Structure 1
Amino acid sequence: MIEVSDTLLDTQREITKLNQPVSFKSLQHLCTCSDDFLVDDKEFQQCLKGCKWSPNGLSILINSEDKRLRIFNIEDIEQNVSLCKVNQIKEGGTIYDYVWYPNFVDKNKTNNLILSTSHRSPIHLWNATDGQLEATYRVYDHVDEVAHVNSLCFNWSGEEIYSGSYGKINIFRTERPGREFIEIPTKADLHRSIISTIAMNPVDKSMFAVGTYSKDIGIYGGNQLMYILRGHKSGITQLKFSPDGLKLYSGSRKGDNDIVCWDLRNVGQTLYSAERTVTTNQRICFDISSDGKFLVSGKSMLNLI
């Protein structure tokens, strides 16, 4: 875990001092879960690929190797008990990305929605409460066949869905399922590559950033490309804006161990980088605390920093 102070860190040495693994002995263990991820096939290598908190902080969405999304509730949990699984969703192929609908309403369960994309499947909008499919959004390839997308993101109001695939960004209206979308080509500016991740600026609602496996980061405003950031040694796997919208954090896959903090007030300049161990091409996730003071990341070595 890394503490990011209000003032800029002067040297890379200072950030290295803060880059220490979390001591779990000092943290209070609340609950756990393992039985819900067991599979009957003994030769199948089950693993968990990531987890995301619901907007109200009372549910966790977990992606696993068996092509399922599982939803767990943590409301009213007692210490040292198992998480309560409330539902699971089966996708048709490997799950590439998944997000919560941003306007989560506790009392009205119909608004507890999940968006997901998987291999050779359209985008699916699911009801997290009963697991029912609510809507489908389709992108088509050059021979007019349904193509999957690699990354997903709602805008902050939940009214639009942003998806990324090879050489393009597609924007859907959430209320209009089907194949009606706005397309933004990216091949000319961001090389011919897959849009691997999308992030929305929490302050400037018209700004969003995309990352590619060709190591480029594009920053858009009003659906127009404004800046291209380059500097990573490997493909981008995750982007996240700081809560104040003035910084952009980027992480990449095997061959590049740094999470880079970009200064959006002086575009192209980096404030610092935080080193972690990434030895595979899988997405090693990181997150930022709501106050912007802490950056936490997984590593390939089975611990956190």
Structure 2
Amino acid sequence: MENELYAEAYTEAAPMAYAVYNFESTALELARAQWPNYADQHYLKNCKWSPDGTCLLTVIRGGGMNVFEMPSDLYAAESILQSRVINPLTPAVSVPETGLIYDYMWYPGMNSSNPATCCWLSSGHEGPIHLWDAFTGDLRCSYRGYNAADELEAAMSLTFSADGQNVFCGYKKNVRIFATGRPGRECVEYPISHQVSCLVASQAQPGVVAIGTVKNTIELVSQSDGSFRHLCKLQAHKGAITSMCFSADGFRLYSGARKDKDVVCWDLRVPGRPMFVLNRECNTNQKISIDLSMDNKWLVSGGTDGKVQVWNVSEPHYPTVHMQMSLHNDSCNGVSLHPFKPILATASGQHHAIDPLHHSRTMPVYENSLCMWWVGPQQEDPDLLTTIIKAASNSSSV
């Protein structure tokens, strides 16, 4: 693996038009995958569309990492019939990683026409950071962080740099940077006062990284040529930072935290205080993700109540909830907007306490599912419409 290869693939990725979302009508379910729900606690942990929009990656507790391909009829679809059959989703690639996965991330220059770029990172309990092949599920290489006692340390969070040249990994007391094309233990370190719980890199401003910690703070740093420069520190959340995303222009940062109903928007041109604060349901320690559309217009968030909330953050006035969709019966912990199609992916499930004295009784059914939803133009089924018109005309003639 060479840095030049990744740089070339990143720059050659063809730009595509933004998706046109229609959050005025009900989301139409396109596809679903379901996992057993009680004995094995197979709840999902977020979901992420690949940068080229061809497939969806998710992690299932006790069920490894799985890649699902987008149904083929959706590539050319501009609108969807409301009577469309729901596709059952089966993994195209599975990695049976049974340990606890802390974080995972697609390579930003991923393009299915170039197999070398089709990969993702993951970090798990008591293990190194792994780079996985998205075509075969094979392990390509590992990046290893060691503590002061020269013991292997697991990264709690990770992200790629905007150009894919570097891997940023968050540990208990520092952020380590590995060169993507140079696996092993060689890295550059940036000290942090508290454990890093979330990392995100700005696509518009290469080298700028937001570091979220378990102590409610977000630190913005600029990294170039192996050196770090502190930019500012942001603080408004009540819990550990669990989800962040930059706007495409790099001027805004959105953040969410554990056991904290606030989704905070920061204007990085005036970073002293939040620009505005939105509200969602988040009453557990579970990571509840947020996502922003590529045109900077729509911000979506899951919730522990199973609802997905949508805000139009491009409005000049204070954003209010544009739409609230009850898509799941259990916690909706993952949301991901397709980069080029009006498709929303959601992941549901959470840990439920099991009473060992009542295993023989009928247990409640929990929803642990991965779903794709159409949030674009819809069409009524012409056959159904004809039937309704005929029925109406017959009843009127009688």
- Contact 1:46 1:65 (C-alpha < 8 Å) held by counterparts: yes
Measure how far apart 1:244 and its partner are.
Answer: 1.2
Q: Which residue of 2 aligns with 1:164?
A: 170
Give 1:98-109 correspondences, 5 Å limit.
Answer: 98-109=104-115
Offset from partner CA, 1:263-295 (integer Å, 9 cap, x none): 111112211111011111110001011111111
1:286 partner letter = I
How far apart are the structure 2 equivalents of 1:173 and 1:92? 27
Q: Which residue of 1 aligns with 2:54?
A: 58
Measure how far apart 1:260 and its partner are.
Answer: 0.3
How far apart are the structure 2 equivalents of 1:75 and 1:127? 21
Q: Between the two structures, name the one with larger relative contact order (CA 8 Å, sep ≥ 6).
A: 2
Could you list the structure 1 runs, at least 4 aligned residues long, displaced by more than 4 angstroms after superposition.
none
Matched, 1:173 2:168: no
- Contact 1:92 1:121 (C-alpha < 8 Å) held by counterparts: no
Q: Which residue of 2 aligns with 1:74?
A: 70
- The equivalent position to 2:276 in structure 1, one of 272, 279, 285, is 272
How far apart are the structure 2 equivalents of 1:127 and 1:276? 35
- Contact 2:214 2:240 (C-alpha < 8 Å) held by counterparts: yes
How far apart are the structure 1 equivalents of 2:149 and 2:236? 35
1:28 partner letter = L
Gaps of 5+ in 2: 1-22, 75-83, 310-398
Measure how far apart 1:134 and its partner are.
Answer: 0.2
Measure how far apart 1:84 and its partner are.
Answer: 3.8
Matched, 1:97 2:103: yes
How far apart are the structure 2 equivalents of 1:77 and 1:43? 36
How far apart are the structure 2 equivalents of 1:176 and 1:150? 21
1:269 partner letter = R
1:63 partner letter = V
1:86 partner letter = A
Question: TM-score scaled by structure 2?
Answer: 0.66
Offset from partner CA, 1:199-231 (integer Å, 9 cap, x none): 111211121111001011100013211111112
1:135 partner letter = C
Q: Which residue of 1 aligns with 2:241?
A: 236
- Contact 1:92 1:119 (C-alpha < 8 Å) held by counterparts: no
How far apart are the structure 2 equivalents of 1:70 and 1:228? 36
How far apart are the structure 1 equivalents of 2:210 and 2:196? 10
Matched, 1:147 2:153: yes
Measure how far apart 1:81 and its partner are.
Answer: 1.4
Partner SS, residue 26 of structure 1: coil
Q: Is the alpha carbon distance of 1:43 and 1:84 closer, same or farther for their aligned partners in structure 2, counting shifts above 3 Å?
A: closer
Q: Which residue of 1 aligns with 2:136?
A: 130
How far apart are the structure 1 equivalents of 2:138 and 2:105? 16
2:263 partner letter = I
Q: Which residue of 2 aligns with 1:304?
A: 308
- Contact 1:236 1:252 (C-alpha < 8 Å) held by counterparts: yes
Measure how far apart 1:27 and its partner are.
Answer: 1.9
Gaps of 5+ in 1: 1-21, 188-192
Partner SS, residue 91 of structure 1: coil
Q: Which residue of 1 aligns with 2:45?
A: 49
Measure how far apart 1:157 and its partner are.
Answer: 1.3
- Contact 2:42 2:63 (C-alpha < 8 Å) held by counterparts: no
Measure how far apart 1:107 and its partner are.
Answer: 1.8
- Contact 1:67 1:95 (C-alpha < 8 Å) held by counterparts: no
Aligned Cα RMSD in Å? 1.6
Give 1:149-298 correspondences, 5 Å limit.
Answer: 149-187=155-193, 193-222=194-223, 223-254=228-259, 256-298=260-302
Measure how far apart 1:110 and its partner are.
Answer: 3.1
- The percent identity for this pair of structures is 35
How far apart are the structure 1 equivalents of 2:300 and 2:256? 12
Question: TM-score scaled by structure 1?
Answer: 0.86
- Contact 1:210 1:239 (C-alpha < 8 Å) held by counterparts: no
Q: Which residue of 2 aligns with 1:17?
A: none
Structure with higher Rg: it is 2
Measure how far apart 1:75 and its partner are.
Answer: 4.4
- Contact 2:99 2:124 (C-alpha < 8 Å) held by counterparts: yes
- The equivalent position to 1:116 in structure 2, one of 110, 113, 122, is 122
How far apart are the structure 2 equivalents of 1:68 and 1:283? 18
How far apart are the structure 2 equivalents of 1:182 and 1:239? 23
How far apart are the structure 2 equivalents of 1:83 and 1:233? 37
Matched, 1:28 2:33: no
- Contact 2:236 2:274 (C-alpha < 8 Å) held by counterparts: no
Q: Which residue of 2 aligns with 1:19?
A: none
- Contact 1:59 1:75 (C-alpha < 8 Å) held by counterparts: no
1:98 partner letter = Y
How far apart are the structure 2 equivalents of 1:237 and 1:27? 26
- Contact 1:151 1:195 (C-alpha < 8 Å) held by counterparts: yes
2:297 partner letter = K
Measure how far apart 1:83 and its partner are.
Answer: 2.1
1:53 partner letter = W
- Contact 2:48 2:57 (C-alpha < 8 Å) held by counterparts: yes
Measure how far apart 1:90 and its partner are.
Answer: 2.4
